[in-house]
Structure 1
Amino acid sequence: MNDQTSPTDSAPPYQLRPQLPLPLPRANASALIYNESGAYLLHLRDDIPGIWEPGSWSLLGGGREPGDRSLEETIRRELREEAGLDIPDLAPFTVEQARSSDGTTVPIQIFAGQWSGDPADLELTEGVMLHWFRPEVMPRLRTAPSTRDLLRRHAELLDTGHYAPAPSTTLADADTTASGRPPHPHTPSAAATSERGVPHIIGVHLYLENAHGEILLGLRHPDSAYAAKTWHFLAGHCEQESALACLVREAREEAGLLIDPTDVEYAHAVHLVDTPGTPPRMQLVFRARHWTGTPEIREPDRCVSWSWWRPEALPEPLVPYTRAAIDGIRAGRLYTEWGWT
């Protein structure tokens, strides 16, 4: 058991660097394409056993390849290869979790963009056909429930005037918005949605403090799905699991740390609206009193360095609610609200 995975002295923060390049985790990108009439472009897939969603209407997209420097490059390449399609204003919309045929969960970055062409003019190289469909027709199509739900959510944003596409940007900027601070899907805040409920996103975060009183933070990769080039807690979202199970899993997957749930205690919560108009989030922070292992770079596409920092000398840039949570924990508070107006 090692609960003091710290530098040998408390001078400058100890930088942990990746030693060998690791393979990219599985990740997919899909394009949610809509026109000025509010119809959506769907792809009828081949009805071949063994492929993803055979014989179903789905979004265009595919998996990240070694030559893709970002998921934006992935989706643009897939659109060109599958349909000869180029959409200049593609922007991240959300991140979905899909379960593959082997039972593993695969994250899918959904990009949204407007296009008003005729799909009959496109040269389709995969699948059967492309066609525009209005949202009210979707329930009659053979479509995955997750795809129908995704299109419904986007259509609601269009109908209520709370969707504004982001300007063209590189994924280093756009991925920062993919799952946390999107400028594009302007989901109404609580003040704007008093007549209907708004789902809140739940995040789970690990607060580790070593024997020197230093806090573990990770520097996010420039192309990470959230907080690119920014320091942040080790964190993740629940995948059909409890918050503690999520915390234990993320610690192992992201940093190679083994944590017994009985050594974890609730430390703080930040209930925030990261940017005006974006989905509300409840960010739960748990403190682990003991753990086994030394932080390692296990997911180099998300985090490029783990470091221990004195709380009075935290790094910049730092995710604002991370700083708020640290301040709250040091002050003995259990709850902080951030960004609500």
Structure 2
Amino acid sequence: MRHLSVLLTATLALLPGVGAAATVAGQAGASAAAVQARAGAAMPLADHHQYVYSPAAAAFMSTTGALHPVSARDLIPQLDAAGIGRAAVLSVAYVYGQAEYAQDAEYRRVRAENDWAARQAAEYPERLVALCSVDPLKDYALAELARCAASAEFGRAIRLQPAAGGVQLDDPEQIERLRRVFRSANARGIAIVLQLSETGTREARLLIEQLLPHAPDVPVQVAYAGEREAGPQLAALAVLADAAARQDPRVRHVWIDVSAFARPGLSPADARRLVRRLRQVGMERVLVGSDAAIGSAARPRDAWAAFRRLPLSEAETARVANNVMPYLR
């Protein structure tokens, strides 16, 4: 367990009924407990959806404009400003699945990017945990999951995101590849961070009916990619929420990452719909994260402020602020 005593100390300091986050001017090397103590508000213990990416990945992802790499030293001051003690840094290694490399060259790039993320997190071991990532449809996906699971440099989770065009729902071979990765993660006790690019109800049903039964024993953190319209995403969330409300055993370990939902500009009607669905899931299984679009100016403080604007009670907000996935403990 990673620094569990630090998290417990910070948890005791959280009080419901406190207003939005105050800016914290802590130094970058501060401990998680020190950041929480200075924040003095019902701040989230952890940001479950952050990124670092290497100069090589930044160059690869620079299509219409130049992207700058993001390191741990860039991220820590942003967490300090939001009063957030811990963060999961999700590798962007999966993006190399978009390339037309030979498989061996592509896999070398994937490994290198995952290892770069691990080195960044190691600079701040009390604050950051690196999660490797892979396109689950690739031939090397199982090998990379096994490698990351065996390394103490990574947290006990893997981020899965198909890199090019999502999953073809009518392709039995693709579905079976996903099942194999789910089974492998479950056998190794590795949590799954599943970022979905599609937002339809059909994909949500696929997750429940064909994937979750193959990972019945590990947490599955479900997130959606990008800043699409809220309507289709909320419709997909409704499928998972309804399953949770009827106590479907297949979703008992599902956590909802709200980073794509709770964002500036969400309409009051959509905010009410979102809150209704989160209450069906249960606030004890809702996670906050920034998921700042790569290259954007969004910050963890902005993400938490957007979440605070949802029509939740102070007790519900404090409950979510206290939630920490096992891979961050």
Greater share of helix: 2
Q: TM over 0.5: same fold?
A: no
Task: State the TM-score, normalized to the length of structure 2.
Answer: 0.28
